[in-house]
Amino acid sequence: MKKTHVKTNDVIFQPVTKVVAFIIIIYSLHLFFSGHYTPGGGFIGGLMTAAAFVLLLLAFDVKTVEKTLNVDYIKMTATGLLIAVLTGLGSFFYNVPFLTQTFSYVDIPLLGKTALATAVLFDLGVYLVVIGVTMTIIQTIGETE
């Protein structure tokens, strides 16, 4: 996002960002998955992932980040919206009210007995929408002259 003409040397900032951005993303995923039992969830998880992307934008310029991540954030928002709505649509097949959630315990190797709930899919939609919206706002403002 830098627009200066003087060539600066971010020899410390950029390598640190490369490490820190990953830690932030992993922490945001942790927040996302812990939403059901502890504070967290799609909204805060999405915001924190977006924060990691913003850090990348600060350390590198818009073009580099776009090339590296290669995501169309508006489509990402729409995908999130679709996922959230389609999760609800599942209820149509079982003839129960819209957005009725269900869960089951599954034995997954390594993780053991885990509860899988459809509410997570809805949260995934929220997560994608939040990242998409935040990044669209920041990138559009950043790119306008």
Partner 1 sequence: MTNLIILPILIPLLTGAILIFLKNRIMAQRVVATLSAITTLIVSFLMVHKVRNDGIQSLNISSWDAPFGITLVSDMFSAILVFTTSIVALVCLVYSFKSIGVEREKYYYYPVLNFLIVGINGAFTTGDIFNLFVFFEVMLMSSYVLLVLGGTKIQLRESIKYLLVNIISSALFVIAVAYLYSVVGTLNMAHISARISEASTNGMPGILTVIAVLFLIVFGLKGAIFPLYFWMPGSYYAPPAPVLALFGALLTKVGVYSITRTYTLFFYHDRDFAFQLLSILAILSVLVGVIGAIAYWDVKKIIIYNIIVAVGVILYGVSVMNHTALTGSVYYLIHDMLIKAALFLLVGVIIAITGTSNLKNISGLITRYPGLGWTFFIAALALAGIPPLSGFVGKLLIVQGGLEVESYIGAVLVLMSSLLVLFSIMKIFINGFWGEDRTYEGEEKAPVKWLLISPVILVVISALYGIGSESFLPYISQAAETLLDPSIYIEAVLKE
The binding site for partner 1 (CB under 8 A) comprises 74-75, 77-78, 81-82, 85, 88-89, 91-92, 95-101
| Beta-sheet pairing, 112-117 with 103-108 | antiparallel
Give the shortest CB-12-to-partner 1 separation in angstroms. Answer: 40
CB of 11 within 8 A of CB of 102?
Answer: no
Give the C-alpha separation, 118 to 120, whole Å: 5
Nearer Cβ to partner 1, position 40 or 132? Answer: 132
Closest approach of Cβ 86 to partner 1, in Å?
8
Nearer to partner 1 (CB atom), residue 97 or residue 112: 97
Q: Is 4 or 95 the residue whose CB approaches partner 1 more closely?
A: 95
Find out whether 16 and 60 touch, Cβ atoms under 8 Å: no
How many residues are listed for the chain in this entry? 145
